[in-house]
Amino acid sequence: MSRNNEDNDSRKEKKFRLRKINPKDIQLPKGYTIDVFAHQLTTPISLLLTPDGQTYVADSGITDNNGKILRLNGKHFEVFAEGFNPPLTGINYFNGDIYVSHRGVISIVKPNGKVIDILSGLPSFGDHHNNQVVFGSDGKMYFGQGTATNSGVVGEDNIEWVKKYPFFHDYPASTIYLNGLNFKSRNILAENQYEETFTGAYSPFGIPTVNLEPVKGILKASGSILRANPDGSGLELVAWGLRNPFRIKFDRFDRLFAANHGMDVRGSRPIENSSDEFQVIYMGMWYGWPDYTGGLPVTYADYKPRNYPQPQFLLAQHPMNPPKPFAVFEPHSAIMGFDFNRHECFGPIGDAYIAEFGSEAPETTGGVPLPKVGHRVSRIDISTGAVCTFAVNKSGFAASYTNDGGFERPIDVVFNNKGVMFVVDFGIASEENDSYEKGTGVIWRIRRHD
């Protein structure tokens, strides 16, 4: 499939669902204003502002099975490259090339539009995928790799991919020994809908495990952060035990931070009250998944879901005691892209501003509606770890919930070199299928005016 075709339909009239947009429906601190930078985008997931003044936005591709990179040409975005495996999760820039993270692959797009796959075979066939790359002062390329499952066990909640990849499951980064816990579920691979089966941790669906069974670690591990040379060579493990490190970024002191998603109340091993985590990433560290959340063991009473037993450890022995998160967010906030403020004209230097996508209730919450969680931009005080809301709809809800015109699904935050914040808004979820409405994505712009 071509990845650099000109968008022949860009000049044709496009009929999209009309999304109501009204910046006045968004509440900001005194002295800040918000307006619309771009709209009628489809599932925008990543914004890239390059040193040479170009503006790119990535379309995840989940609506048409075609991940794309769009480039701003005057007042309009045009397709610059396409054909990436959905979901395309992020783009970045290094030495003149655009780095594209898409399912199972990291590619580069050369200035002439040529696409080269530099890293493939990443374990991204499950619930979560390989995410946006960033570059450290060491010249290395860093990226997060999500897990296959919610909490370590393949179950009925994974039906969408289990039928395509029946032998896929989570993989640790070093050898672990299991407790031999097995979970009963309906056999979704059988013709008989009433047939049951048992599945163990770190195991394909329908394959049980035994006490102290070893699982060998691999380099391309689930729930990890990896690094490599810019050409994809020299792949190394940085850290693991993270459920879905959706975004990572270095701050001005060269510390690596990650936005990591908590576990859901779903599947064979549901976990209640699992916080999203903002973590400082240390070399060689294990961050606790699937047996810890928020730095605490899942055996604590707070993590017991209604109508389900108390979660127990899957691992017979843990690699180490995981660190406490730098900051925690309300369960199901779905923290996503973030950026550090480096401009005194905008606010406190060094603080992080992070997009909260919001819950996918009731599927992920055990049937409980959580419409007020997320759907905002929050500020993290980098000196204390305290979290406060920076920008949120005045209603407190997603715009479509109240038929207002503010935020729907914030997914990325990026500052330009003049201290202006851009907030990428993914768009409105489709009521007819598990996707999003075309043309409902927005990029908001926030500035400070004292």
Concatenating the DSSP letter of every residue in 358-388 gives ---TTTTBTT---TTSS-EEEEE-TTT--EE
For the segment 5-41, what is each residue's pLDDT rounded down to a tens digit? 333 333 333 455 579 999 999 999 999 999 999 999 9
The pLDDT of residue 16: 54
The pLDDT of residue 222: 98
Q: Express as a percent the part of the chain with pLDDT over 90.
A: 92
Rounded to whole angstroms, the Cα distance separating 226 from 131 reads 11
Nearest to 62, CA basis, from 382, 447, 425, 436: 436
DSSP SS3 for 301 = helix
**What does each C-alpha distance from 75 to 44, 71, 92, 182, 441 come to in angstroms?**
17, 10, 22, 56, 16
User: DSSP letter at 304?
Assistant: P
In degrees and rounded to multiples of 5, residue 206 shows phi and psi of: 85, 5
CB 107 within 8 Å of CB 84 = yes
DSSP SS3 for 249 = strand
User: CA dihedral defined by 425, 413, 401, 266, rounded to 10 degrees?
Assistant: 100
Compute the average pLDDT of residues 253-258. Answer: 98
Compute the average pLDDT of residues 161-171. Answer: 98
Compute the average pLDDT of residues 75-98. Answer: 97
Q: Express as a percent the part of the chain with pLDDT over 70.
A: 96
Compute the average pLDDT of residues 401-412. Answer: 97
In the chain, the domains with their CATH numbers are 23-448 (2.120.10.30)
For the record, the structure tokens of 127 come out as 């619930």
Confidence tier at 273 by pLDDT (50, 70, 90): very high
Q: Alpha helices of 140-231 — where are they, by DSSP H?
A: 159-162
Averaged confidence pLDDT in the chain: 95
For the segment 197-213, what is each residue's pLDDT rounded down to a tens digit? 999 999 999 999 999 99
Compute the average pLDDT of residues 313-334. Answer: 98
CB 115 within 8 Å of CB 97 = no
Strands 214-215 and 176-177: antiparallel
Confidence tier at 253 by pLDDT (50, 70, 90): very high
Rounded to whole angstroms, the Cα distance separating 21 from 36 reads 8
CB 242 within 8 Å of CB 289 = yes
Residue type at 241 in one-letter notation: G
CB 407 within 8 Å of CB 372 = no
The pLDDT of residue 193: 85
For the record, the structure tokens of 352 come out as 């992080």
With a CB cutoff of 8 Å and minimum separation 6, the contacts of 450 are 31
Rounded to whole angstroms, the Cα distance separating 337 from 261 reads 12
Rounded to whole angstroms, the Cα distance separating 417 from 187 reads 54
Put residue 9 in one of left, alpha, beta given phi > 0 → left and psi -120 to 50 → alpha: alpha
Rounded to whole angstroms, the Cα distance separating 413 from 346 reads 14
Angle, vertex CA 116, rays to CA 112 and CA 120, nearest 5: 160
The pLDDT of residue 371: 83
> What is the gyration radius of the CA atoms in the chain, in angstroms?
21
Rounded to whole angstroms, the Cα distance separating 223 from 261 reads 10
The pLDDT of residue 432: 73
Neighbours of 4 (CB within 10 A): 16
Higher-pLDDT residue of 10, 52: 52
The pLDDT of residue 12: 37
The pLDDT of residue 19: 93
pTM: 0.95
Rounded to whole angstroms, the Cα distance separating 223 from 221 reads 6
For the record, the structure tokens of 339 come out as 């950026």
Rounded to whole angstroms, the Cα distance separating 222 from 344 reads 39
With a CB cutoff of 8 Å and minimum separation 6, the contacts of 324 are 294, 295
Rounded to whole angstroms, the Cα distance separating 128 from 122 reads 11
For the segment 223-236, what is each residue's pLDDT rounded down to a tens digit? 999 999 999 999 99
**What does each C-alpha distance from 208 to 153, 255, 350, 448 come to in angstroms?**
10, 40, 48, 57
Confidence tier at 4 by pLDDT (50, 70, 90): very low
The pLDDT of residue 17: 59
Find where tokens 């923290």 sit: 335
CB 250 within 8 Å of CB 238 = no
The pLDDT of residue 132: 98
**What does each C-alpha distance from 381 to 91, 377, 449 come to in angstroms?**
26, 13, 21
